[in-house]
Structure 1
Amino acid sequence: MTEPQHLVVTTTHDDEDAARALAATLVSERLAACAQVHAVRSVYWWDGEVQDTAEWRVDLKTRASLAEQLADRIVELHPYDTPEVIAVPITAGASGYLAWLSAETAAR
């Protein structure tokens, strides 16, 4: 199996405006070609107990070669002590879209 050329990198934020600002910054810095911001409900273990909070998920489309830079930048900009940063490979997609994704992040 070949290594993926593209990824969806996900993080979450507790504030919609801040999530949108984070997405805009990462896209303007060309670390991601685009981002979607979704309202989600997160249930997780933190500080010794189960948390149940409203959050905003940010899905960022990028080239696999930018994953480490993107993750580092998310951690740098994010107010959480331990922000979620996970990457999922894009194993297939419309060739035109994937070419656009590569072109829009090529400045990095």
Structure 2
Amino acid sequence: MADISPPAALIWCPFENAQDARQAARILLSEGLVACANIMPDMQSLYIWEGEQGEAQECGALFKTAPASLITAIARLEEIHPYDTPAIIGWNADETTPATRSWLANPLGSSAG
């Protein structure tokens, strides 16, 4: 029977600064919940919060994980995030390479190449 599960999952989350993003990434990596974190500093965010329009300099983080770890990684990220109500969005990716799929399924076992 063919594996029909999604090959990868992604989590997007903004942070106040790169230090907070790195700290969260290190925790998720050390706990085996994600295989990689890409941190993008100096992101401009425009938003509506509690009925008011706002703007802020933030830092974005994109986490790569296996679909089986997605829900647990999101829950853990919510626990460790310094914001009271962090915007955490996770989704399954429809396509990836076989090497990436293998790496995400077992990030501590080997590299993607």
Instruction: Output the TM-score relative to the length of structure 1.
Output: 0.88
Please report how far the alpha carbon of residue 47 of structure 1 lies from its aligned counterpart in structure 2 after TM superposition.
2.9
Instruction: Supply the RMSD in Å over aligned alpha carbons.
Output: 1.6
1:36 maps to 38
Distance 1:73 1:23 in 2: 11
2:68 matched to which residue of 1?
Answer: 65
CA distance in 2, matches of 1:93, 1:4: 9
Shift of 1:56: 0.9
DSSP 3-state at the match of 1:104: coil
User: Does the Cα contact within 8 Å between 1:31 and 1:105 map onto a contact in 2?
Assistant: no
Q: TM-score, normalised to structure 2's length?
A: 0.84
Q: Which runs of 5+ in 1 are unaligned?
A: none
Q: Which runs of 5+ in 2 are unaligned?
A: none
1:80 is the counterpart of 2:80? no
- SS of the aligned residue for 2:106 comes to helix
Decide whether the 8 Å contact of 1:62 with 1:105 is kept in 2: no
Detail structure 1 runs of 4+ shifted over 2 Å in the superposition. none
Q: Distance in 1 between matches of 2:60 and 2:108?
A: 21
Give the greater-gyration-radius structure (CA): 2
Code of the residue aligned with 1:18 in structure 2: it is D
